[in-house]
Amino acid sequence: MENLKEELLEVLNKKFINHKGLSKLADVLSSMLHKNKEDVMQALIELEKSGDIYEFTKHKYASSSSLGLVKGKVSYSGYNYSFVLNEDGDIFVQRKNLLNSMDGDTVLVKILSGEVGNKKREGKVLKVLKKSDAVIVGTFTRIKSYGYVKSDRKNFDKDIFIDVANINGAKDGEKVVVELISTKSGNPVGKVVEVIGDPNAVGTDIKCILKQYKVIDKFPDGVLQEARSFAQEVEKSNYPHRRDITDMFMFTIDGADAKDLDDAVSLQRDEKGNFILGVHIADVGEYVRYESKLDESAFERGTSIYFLNNVIPMLPKELSNGICSLNPNVDRLALSVIMKIDATGNVIESEVFESIINSNYRLDYDETLEIIEGNKETQNRLKELTPVILDMYELSQILDKRRRDLGSLDFDLPESKVIVDSNNKPIEIQKRSTTKSTKIIETFMVIANEVIAKKFEDAKIPFIYRVHEKPDAEKMSTFFNFISSLGVKFNLDKKDIMPMDLQKILTSVEDLPVKGVVNMIMLRSLKKAKYIEKCLGHFGMALTYYCHFTSPIRRYPDLCIHRIIKEYLHNNKTFITSPKMIGFVSKAAAKASEMEKNAEDVERAVTDYKKCEYMSQFIGDHFEGIISGVNARGFFVELENTCEGFVSVSTLSDDFYDFDERTLTLVGKKNLYRIGESVEVEVADCNLSERKINFNIVKKLNKKTTKV
């Protein structure tokens, strides 16, 4: 059906077919394409429902793209306007043009003004394609015969009216979950569907965020029962056809607090000096079977979610921390990839097979780094591991150089880790950066993912790929204008940007104060990586083939392709090339991309909340920071501890400022503010509900941001 839809859209993209109604259109298209009319009719119905075709005049249809219509999700602001979020840029929609759409609805929009990529596009909702089941979290206030809820969400300005019949036992001041049910004279009306509780109670803040993003934090009984049905030990005799490599020396390297260990590594050298690298991944697919309750649950979750010291796992702990985790000195089932790699990092040979393994050690990143950096005490304590670790580090450098030679973009942007006490109160914010030990595992997982992706693309088997498409030309043009304003020199063909071109820019600013800013803005200018069933390559890594194979405990795409690999190894090609499986792979890829974004949003929301809470103790204090973003409303400042706050243009009383979109600069008659400049700011206030820190500008600092 998916292939038929593509054929129909290809025709309808090229020309209008003016026949009355879908039935007449189906007659014409079935004859033109020599297809069954019933199949064509069903495909057209589905295309209309999804918004890919549209009835532009009575009974006359065309493809939405040929009519210039776009799809997106409504982000309801509560003001006299909202936005429709679209991958080519948000679309401004006045309230009168929202039709009957509500927050989170998927809609079809006609562009009234502006062009693709233009943030000032304005549109009109033509059709609601899918009603949202989104909920809103906020604070409940009781007013005699009714109540209202003030949303925690940024920019949701209007209070939500709650009729007395829909209060659901909520008490004044409590945090609640609200479902929007209508609008009343332009104001949202809702009902309380869940009471979270006292906003000051330990854990309420995190519960609010999880509810806002509809995170499923508990497993149904049926899923738990299925997970507990598996023995927690591997009986070799049950797997006579697996390759027993329990005598192969291997180990895991993870963070000290990791509990779900899904990859082990091994390394040897052959007589010619080639590296024989083994990447051994937990065979989760042996336990989580297609269409089982565990599988359905994992599909819906899409990924594990990590925040603070917590994890909401994709799979129950009986699997994720138990029989699937590659704990030391116990037999485990795995999918092993063995690669022969030469001295320049090229893979000469490779094979993948079902195995039984037994990890010899559980190393953490700190111990591994100590071995690499020559700590004698650690090297003596781990004598058996030391020579292998040093060889692994040598190979990781070779593989890293290969990636750089191809043009891989390695952004130098430190991540932050919020340290909390026993009551989840933030007490410290630490910077996290890549180390030599984390680089070993990163490079080994990348090469395994690349090898698997190429193997199955060559085999023409339905698969899920990790794709990062070429950047949008207009966004790149904006980026080039911006770095030119910083004085960064470059000489590129802007029409066909290659990864190597951008890598050269990153290298050119390596020792300049603008390094962090250029890294950040370049990253924002690129497209977001996603999962799809087509192998379109990974621009950021400069790779033709790439997938996610190495984390099936915590990512559904990895689990899905493990299942495909296993069926392929058992020569069950009929199943994995069936229309059902082809359709499922497409569906799983789309769902995984959606849930990955949701998980990222949750993790970011928790971190932002805790940073806001942490900075609330410093109201009135002064800090130095770097301007990290500028828009017409003001600019963002990032402090050394990675906390980011906003300086509103309304607080800049020294001048009148206009926003220069070309150079991302606020320009006044006597002064200007641009990304990368150093400033001193005062912490004005911290809005926990909106997870927003506000700064006042104290002064600009005389720190050069460009090369003189």
The ranges assigned to domains in the chain are 2-63, 69-130, 136-201, 221-464+546-603, 619-700
- Percent of the chain's residues with pLDDT above 90: 62
CB of 510 within 8 A of CB of 460?
Answer: no
| pLDDT, position 81 | 78
> What does pTM read for this prediction?
0.85
Span 557-576, mean pLDDT? Answer: 94
Span 72-93, mean pLDDT? Answer: 80
| pLDDT(117) > 60 | no
Which of 41-45, 168-172, 364-368 has the least mean pLDDT? 41-45
Span 612-630, mean pLDDT? Answer: 95
Select, from the ranges 9-23, 96-110, 586-600, the one with the highest average predicted confidence (pLDDT): 586-600
Distance of CA 208 to the CA centre of its chain: 21
CA distance 611 to 308: 11
Which of 82-96, 519-533, 580-594 has the least mean pLDDT? 82-96
| pLDDT, position 708 | 23
Question: What is the identity of the amino acid at 17?
Answer: I
CA distance 676 to 638: 10
Span 680-704, mean pLDDT? Answer: 89
Over residues 17-67, the pLDDT tens digits come to: 556 678 888 888 888 888 888 888 888 888 888 888 888 877 778 888 888
| pLDDT, position 240 | 93
Span 291-296, mean pLDDT? Answer: 96
| pLDDT, position 185 | 59
Q: What is the dotted CATH code of the domain comprising 2-63?
A: 1.10.10
CATH architecture of the region 619-700: Beta Barrel (2.40)
Distance of CA 708 to the CA centre of its chain: 38
CB of 275 within 8 A of CB of 443?
Answer: no
CA distance 463 to 59: 39
Span 504-527, mean pLDDT? Answer: 88
- Burial state string for 662-680 with b = 16 or more CB within 10 A and e = fewer than 16: ebbbbeeeeebbbbbbbbe
| pLDDT(200) > 80 | yes
H/E segment holding residue 337? strand 331-341
| pLDDT(638) > 80 | yes
Provide the mean pLDDT of the chain. 90
Give me the CATH topology for the region 69-130.
OB fold (Dihydrolipoamide Acetyltransferase, E2P) (2.40.50)
DSSP states of 140-154 as a string? Answer: EEEETTEEEEEESST
Span 174-185, mean pLDDT? Answer: 83
CA distance 393 to 329: 24
Select, from the ranges 58-62, 108-112, 340-344, the one with the highest average predicted confidence (pLDDT): 340-344
pLDDT-derived band of residue 706, with 50, 70 and 90 as boundaries? Answer: very low
Question: Tokens 């300086």 sit at which residue?
Answer: 647
Span 567-574, mean pLDDT? Answer: 93
| pLDDT, position 703 | 58
Question: What is the identity of the amino acid at 536?
Answer: L
Question: What is the maximum alpha-carbon separation in the chain?
Answer: 84
Write the burial class of residue 579 (CB in 10 Å: 0-12 exposed, 13-18 middle, 19+ buried): exposed
| pLDDT, position 418 | 93
| pLDDT(618) > 60 | yes
Span 558-570, mean pLDDT? Answer: 96
| pLDDT, position 186 | 62
Span 374-400, mean pLDDT? Answer: 96
pLDDT-derived band of residue 322, with 50, 70 and 90 as boundaries? Answer: very high
Which of 122, 121, 120 has the alpha carbon at shortest distance from 661? Answer: 120
| pLDDT, position 515 | 85
| pLDDT(89) > 50 | yes
What are the tokens at 176?
A: 């609640």
| pLDDT, position 44 | 86
Same topology, domains 69-130 and 619-700? Answer is: yes
| pLDDT(85) > 90 | no
- Percent of the chain's residues with pLDDT above 70: 95
Which of 141-155, 212-226, 288-302 has the least mean pLDDT? 141-155
Residue ranges of E strands in 465-551: 465-467, 530-532
| pLDDT, position 133 | 72
Give me the CATH topology for the region 136-201.
OB fold (Dihydrolipoamide Acetyltransferase, E2P) (2.40.50)
| pLDDT, position 487 | 81
CB of 463 within 8 A of CB of 585?
Answer: yes
| pLDDT, position 368 | 96
| pLDDT(707) > 50 | no
Q: What is the DSSP letter of 367?
A: H
Span 134-157, mean pLDDT? Answer: 85
Span 498-507, mean pLDDT? Answer: 92
CA distance 494 to 501: 10
pLDDT-derived band of residue 336, with 50, 70 and 90 as boundaries? Answer: very high
CA distance 148 to 688: 19
| pLDDT(428) > 90 | yes
- Residue predicted with more confidence, 97 or 495: 97
